[in-house]
Structure 1
C-alpha cells in the first residue's frame, strides 16, 4: 500500500479506485432546514442564470438550499414569499419543524429506495452553507451556539443503512462557504468567492468537523464544496484519509485560497470575475465545472449532460429538477422525465462518466413523487440493462456517433461490447466506421438486420427500437 505524505505532490499520485469507476450511479441527498420552506425562484437552471445575469445570479438562484442567503435580499422573490407564509420568523425557526419531523423518520426506507434504483454509492449532505450539522458535533457554532445540529446522528444512521444495502458511503460537506462565519448576503460568484472562510476559527471548524465525520462513518468519499480554508490542514487531513484506506476518493472542490480570492474584496474585480465566468459558460455551451485544485480524484461538472474529460475520472452532479434541496413550487416541466433521465445517464456513461443524481427530500424526509418517478424509471432500466452499464468503459475502437440527434456510444464491459443508444433511431441507420462489426442485437433480444457498405455498417431498425427512448445493443465482433 502506498504511503502518502502531507504534501500535494505525494497526494496527487492517488487516483479514483475502480469500484467507483465501475459504479456509474450514485445518489446525493440534500436535506436540511431549507427543506421546510422548500422555495426558490423557478424557470431557469443555475448555469444559464450565471451566464445571463452574472451580477445578481445568487439572489435569484433556483437552488432551494440557498434559502437563507436568498432571504437576505428584501426586494427578492424569496423574501416576498417568506413574509407571506412565515411573517418575520427567522431562518433558524425552521429548525423546530425539521427536528419535530425526525420523530417519524428512519434512514432505512430512504436507502431501500436508493438501492432499488440501482445506485452503488450515496452521498448525503452533512453540513450545508447554513452550517446546521446533521450529526451531533462536539464543536459549538460561533454564531448559533453549542447545539446548532440535529438531535440525532443522522449521518451515521444513513451510513449504516446504506452499507446494509451494500452501497458505498460518502459525505458532502461545505467547507468553502459558511453563512455563520460570513453572514453578509451574496448576490454573485465574486461575492461568494470573497466569502471563503479564513482564520483560526474557520480552520478549526472545518478540520474538526471532517475528523468527526471520518471517525464516525469511515466514508468512502469526501465530497467537499466550494473550497477549503487552509493548505497545511488539508494536506494533513488527506494524508491521514488515504493512508488509513487507499480505496477512498475525494472530489475536485477542495480549492484553496488564491490571490484571486483576495482580489475579490475589490468590487471592480468581482464584476470582472462575474463577467468572465459568464462569458466562459456561454462559450462552453453552459457546461460548468469547478476550477482544478492541486489534489483531487474525480471531477464534478454540475448540470452538465456529458463532458469530454479525457481519461480523468468524473461525475455529473445534478437534481431531477432545477434544485438540489426540495423545492415545492417546481412544476412538472421543471423535472426530467424518466425517458430524459435514462437518455442523459446513457450519454454520461458512454463518455466515461458517472451520474451523481440528487434526491431532495421534504422536510419530513419523504421523497416527493416528482423525483421518485423518474428515478424509478432509471432503476427499472438498470434492472434490465445493468450488465452493459456497471463496470463499463468507453470503447475507443469504434466511433461515437450522433444520428438524427441520438447518441450511439460504444462501451466495453470486460470482453463484451455494447452500444448505448440515448434516444430513438430512424428506420435505417448508417454506423460510420463500424464496418468491422459482425452484427448487432438488442440486449437479450433478437439480432438486427445489418449489412456492410465499405467501412460502415447499415442497420435496419425495427419499429420497437425506433420508437424507444433508450436502448442497449450488443455488439458481435
Structure 2
C-alpha cells in the first residue's frame, strides 16, 4: 500500500508538472495567447508605480527658440515652431549634460517607491540616447558628451533591483525624410507611404535600433511605443507585427504597450487620463508632475504630494499602473520640486505600500463618482463627476480603505463602509504596528461603520485595513 501510495503521489506530481509545462509550452508556441500575456504581465500587476523620463535635445531650448515661446509641451518645440531639421539637429553639438548621474536618477526612483523606470531612448525628434550603428544622430556619435545614457541608466537600475524599460518613437521621426511628422522639411505622410519611404525608414532605422535596445542593455521590462501613425490601419498592421516579432524573438518577456498600432500587452490611456471606473484589463496611466513632459524652463505647475498620492491610489484601485514623468534639464538634473514631491510620495509608500503593491482593484465602485444627469462634454457625452473621499484596494481577505475625507460625527470622525455581506474579523489602522482593533458598529439601516483615529481631511490619505471572512467580497 505504501508503494502504491508513493506511485500515485509521484504520478500526481508529474501530472501537475506536465500541466505547467503544457501551459508554458502553449505560451511559448503562441506568445500572443492570453496565458503568455498574463505571464508577462505578472510583474506589472505587482509593481504598480513607475518613473517615466523624457530627456533629449529639446531640454536645451526648454520651450523657447530664438526668443519665441513654443506653445504646449517642451519636447514638441521643433514641431510646434516648425524648426528646420538642420537647425534643430545642430543642438547635438551643444548637448553636454555633465551633471547627469544615472545612479542619482535610479536612486530617486527607488526613494519614490517606484519599481520600474522607462526612458525616452528615441523621441519624435529622432535623436537617440544610446549608441546606434543604425543612425549617427545619437548621444555618443553626435554630441560632446560621448556617453551612452541608456547603458548607464540600465546599469544603475539593475544595481537597485529596478526594472528597466525604454520609450521608442516608432512612427514619428522628424529627423528622417521617411519618418512621420515632419511635413515642413519633407513631403507629407501619404507621399511617404506610397513611395515606400516610410517602410524604408522602419527597416533601416527603427528595426535595427529596436534590435540594438533588446540586445545590448540587459533585460528590458517593456517597450513604450508611441503615436502609431501609418501603423494602425488594417493594411498597415504588418508594420506593427514586424516590430512585435522582433521583441518576441529577442526578449519574449518584454511587455509591449498599447500605442504600437497593433494589440499590446496592456492598455495605455491618454496622457494624464485616469479612467472613471475600474477595469480587470491591465492598463497604465502615463502622467506628468507638472504640465510638460520634456523640460520647460517656464513650467512650475507642480502637482502636490497629496495630489500624487491620491492619483496613485485612485489608479491602483481601478486596476491600473501609474507611470509618472520627470523632465531633466539640459545639464542632466531632475528639477528639485520633482525630487522633493516624489520623495514625499515615497515616504508615504514606505508606511502604506501594503495597500498599493500587488493589490487588486476595488470590488465596489460607488466611491469613484457618477455621470451627470444634464451636464455634457464637447462630444455630447455625460460628464463624469468624480468623488474623492476614499479609495479601496484589495488582497485576499483584506480591504485597504485609503481615506482622504472623513465625515464628522460629533467629536469623532465616522467612516461608513460600503455594503457587503462578509463577516468582518478586524479593522485597524495600517500605521498601527500593534493592529489595535477598532470597534465596528452598525447604523439603523444596517450599514457598518467605524470611527477613524481622526476626522479632519487628510490630503495624504490614511489607510485602514478591514479583514473579512471568505474568499471574496459578497455584495
Interval containing the TM-score (normalised by the shorter chain): 0.7 to 0.9
Residues 183-198 of structure 1: matches in 2 within 5 Å? 183-185=182-184, 198=198
Q: 2:54 aligns with which of 30, 44, 48?
A: 30
- The number of aligned residues is 399
Q: Is the 8 A contact 1:135 1:151 kept in 2?
A: no
> Which moved further from structure 2: 114-123 or 431-440?
431-440
Q: CA deviation at 1:385?
A: 0.6
Q: CA deviation at 1:148?
A: 4.5
1:440 aligns with 2:463: no
Take 1:194 and 1:324, find their aligned partners in 2: how far apart are those partners?
Answer: 30
Q: CA deviation digits over 1:369-426, x for unaligned, max 9? A: 1211221111111011111211101242x454259942423222344331133x2222
Aligned CA distance change for structure 1 residues 97 and 444 (closer, same or farther; 3 Å): same
Aligned CA distance change for structure 1 residues 34 and 6 (closer, same or farther; 3 Å): farther
Take 1:343 and 1:437, find their aligned partners in 2: how far apart are those partners?
Answer: 29
**For the aligned residues, what is the CA RMSD?**
3.5
Aligned CA distance change for structure 1 residues 340 and 137 (closer, same or farther; 3 Å): same
Q: Is the 8 A contact 1:435 1:457 kept in 2?
A: no
Q: 1:140 aligns with which of 127, 130, 135?
A: 135
Partner of 2:394: 412
Q: Is the 8 A contact 1:435 1:455 kept in 2?
A: no
Q: Is the 8 A contact 2:274 2:285 kept in 1?
A: yes
Take 1:330 and 1:159, find their aligned partners in 2: how far apart are those partners?
Answer: 28
Aligned CA distance change for structure 1 residues 405 and 10 (closer, same or farther; 3 Å): closer
Aligned CA distance change for structure 1 residues 18 and 400 (closer, same or farther; 3 Å): farther
- Where 2:113 maps in the other structure, the secondary structure is coil
Q: Is the 8 A contact 2:305 2:342 kept in 1?
A: yes
Partner of 1:65: 75
Aligned CA distance change for structure 1 residues 200 and 193 (closer, same or farther; 3 Å): closer
Partner of 1:351: 318
1:121 aligns with 2:116: yes
Take 1:431 and 1:146, find their aligned partners in 2: how far apart are those partners?
Answer: 57
Q: CA deviation at 1:296?
A: 3.4
Aligned CA distance change for structure 1 residues 443 and 358 (closer, same or farther; 3 Å): same
Aligned CA distance change for structure 1 residues 377 and 316 (closer, same or farther; 3 Å): same
> Which moved further from structure 2: 245-254 or 457-466?
457-466
Partner of 1:254: 260
- Where 1:371 maps in the other structure, the secondary structure is helix
Residues 103-118 of structure 1: matches in 2 within 5 Å? 104-118=99-113
Q: Where in structure 1 are there 5+ consecutive unaligned residues?
A: 42-58, 75-88, 256-292
Aligned CA distance change for structure 1 residues 34 and 3 (closer, same or farther; 3 Å): farther
Larger radius of gyration between Structure 1 and Structure 2: 2
Take 1:19 and 1:207, find their aligned partners in 2: how far apart are those partners?
Answer: 26
Partner of 1:452: 442
Take 1:328 and 1:40, find their aligned partners in 2: how far apart are those partners?
Answer: 9
Q: Where in structure 2 are there 5+ consecutive unaligned residues?
A: 1-23, 370-385, 409-413, 469-475
TM-score normalised per structure 1: 0.74
Take 1:358 and 1:411, find their aligned partners in 2: how far apart are those partners?
Answer: 24
Aligned CA distance change for structure 1 residues 2 and 176 (closer, same or farther; 3 Å): farther
Aligned CA distance change for structure 1 residues 8 and 69 (closer, same or farther; 3 Å): farther
Q: Is the 8 A contact 1:121 1:167 kept in 2?
A: yes
Q: Is the 8 A contact 1:63 1:323 kept in 2?
A: yes
Aligned CA distance change for structure 1 residues 316 and 390 (closer, same or farther; 3 Å): same
Q: Whose relative contact order is higher, 1 or 2, with alpha carbons under 8 Å and at least 6 apart?
A: 1
Partner of 1:377: 344
1:226 aligns with 2:227: yes
TM-score normalised per structure 2: 0.74
Q: Is the 8 A contact 2:126 2:173 kept in 1?
A: yes
